[in-house]
Amino acid sequence: MQIIENFSLQSYNTFGIEVKAKCFALFRNIKDLSQILEQKKISLDQLFVLGGGSNILFTQDYNGLMLKSAINGIEIIEETNEYVYVKVGGGEIWHNFVLHCVNQNWGGVENLSLIPGTVGAAPIQNIGAYGAELKDTFYEVEILHLDSLIKQTLSKEACKFAYRDSIFKQEYKGKIVILSVTFKLNKIPIVNTSYGDINKELESQKISSPTIQDVSRAVCKIRSSKLPDPNELGNAGSFFKNPIVSDSQFETLKAKYPTIVGYKSGNNLTKLAAGWLIEQCGWKGKRIGDAGVHKNQALVLVNYGKAKGSEIIDLAHKIQDSVKEKFSVDIEPEINIL
């Protein structure tokens, strides 16, 4: 297997940050991986598994071995009258998989259209958008432990999925590779148009009985109009998670800021729209050097050209401090900082 030294990661992260990996290698299967690891004999803390680089901010050169998954394949492993179980290689592009499902009329992932990145990374933060999350269609995952090279299959329960969280961001962080993900998709799709602007978009197109194809197209259209395209302006989507506060804290905030945006999130908890909080602190459209806050989406930090990861982090800290000062709320990064 080819291990490349001093490898530029600029086109391997959607922020477009210019950093280098000391070593870089692609793997297509377990055999490739074991050969690479045998050749390099490197400790776990010097290994990093890279997907599409759309949820990462590099703040410095990576002084270890970066492994990029090229495990491909979409395969039906079981089918009933109602469901199809589809196993997908971790290196497949997420949106290509969604389009494949939409074309086959397999329902469940259409609301997650156009999310950048790979299938192998999708369980890491339980990707979510427009009223759907990965966990809704997730069946099981095949992982490889990087220290022992032992393969294991994990059920949905074992993955401990939560809002932008899973076992892979906690106990298993940095210790495993996701080889494949199996999804349970609906052969009799049920459309979910309740969230965000989907209904509005479908109405404007005079679609009264939408199909999953209509929903996927509507989601793509809304996303393209709202979010900056990383090919044109470096970014990693939402930089921060929406903070979750107690209902009583929400009521106190609402009394002071009547237009505050919050959604019920389980027992006695409310999820606040981080974008609203940041916008109220005056950050929308602000720019410090080449690091900035997007002009339409306060939750999205952008690289106008030559920003360093450290400059984006400095900006993020300033935003966190001002949200804390104004609302007494902590906002945490959603993205992985390296």
Ligand X SMILES: Cc1cc2nc3c(=O)[nH]c(=O)nc-3n(C[C@H](O)[C@H](O)[C@H](O)COP(=O)(O)OP(=O)(O)OC[C@H]3O[C@@H](n4cnc5c(N)ncnc54)[C@H](O)[C@@H]3O)c2cc1C
* Site residues for ligand X per CB under 6 A: 14, 48-56, 69, 90, 115-118, 120-122, 124-125, 127-129, 177-178, 227, 230, 235-237, 336
Shortest Å, Cβ 325 to ligand X: 28
The H or E element spanning position 35 is helix 30-40
CB 66 within 8 A of CB 9: yes
- For residue 238, indicate whether it is catalytic: yes
- Radius of gyration of the CA atoms of the chain, in A: 21
Q: What Cα–Cα distance (Å) separates residue 290 from each residue in 159, 281, 303?
A: 38, 20, 6
Nearer to ligand X, 197 or 247 (CB): 197
Bridge partners (DSSP) listed for residue 20:
8
From the candidates 133, 201, 311, 334, give the one annotated as an active-site residue: 334
- For residue 328, indicate whether it is catalytic: no
Nearer to ligand X, 53 or 262 (CB): 53
Shortest Å, Cβ 319 to ligand X: 18
Nearer to ligand X, 146 or 272 (CB): 146
Amino acid (1-letter code) at residue 87: K
Q: What separation, in Å, do the N-terminal and C-terminal C-alpha atoms of the chain show?
A: 25
Q: What Cα–Cα distance (Å) separates residue 70 from each residue in 16, 44, 52, 60, 91?
A: 21, 20, 11, 24, 4
Shortest Å, Cβ 180 to ligand X: 9
110 CB-near residues (< 8 Å, 6+ apart): 98, 101, 102, 189, 191, 212, 213, 215, 216, 219
275 CB-near residues (< 8 Å, 6+ apart): 238, 297, 298, 299
Nearer to ligand X, 118 or 182 (CB): 118
CB 68 within 8 A of CB 26: yes
- For residue 334, indicate whether it is catalytic: yes
Tokens in use for 276?
A: 């609203």
- Count CB-CB contacts under 10 A for residue 38: 10
Shortest Å, Cβ 257 to ligand X: 26
Shortest Å, Cβ 255 to ligand X: 31
Q: What is the rounded CA–CA span in Å between residue 293 and residue 282? A: 10
From the candidates 54, 164, 166, 216, give the one annotated as an active-site residue: 164
Tokens in use for 310?
A: 């450290």
Shortest Å, Cβ 54 to ligand X: 3
Shortest Å, Cβ 83 to ligand X: 24
- Count CB-CB contacts under 10 A for residue 176: 20
Q: What is the rounded CA–CA span in Å between residue 128 and residue 328? A: 26
Q: Is 293 helix (H, G, I), strand (E, B) or coil?
A: strand
Nearer to ligand X, 282 or 305 (CB): 305
From the candidates 133, 142, 238, 311, give the one annotated as an active-site residue: 238
Nearer to ligand X, 161 or 327 (CB): 161
Nearer to ligand X, 249 or 297 (CB): 297
* Residues acting as catalytic residues: 164, 238, 334
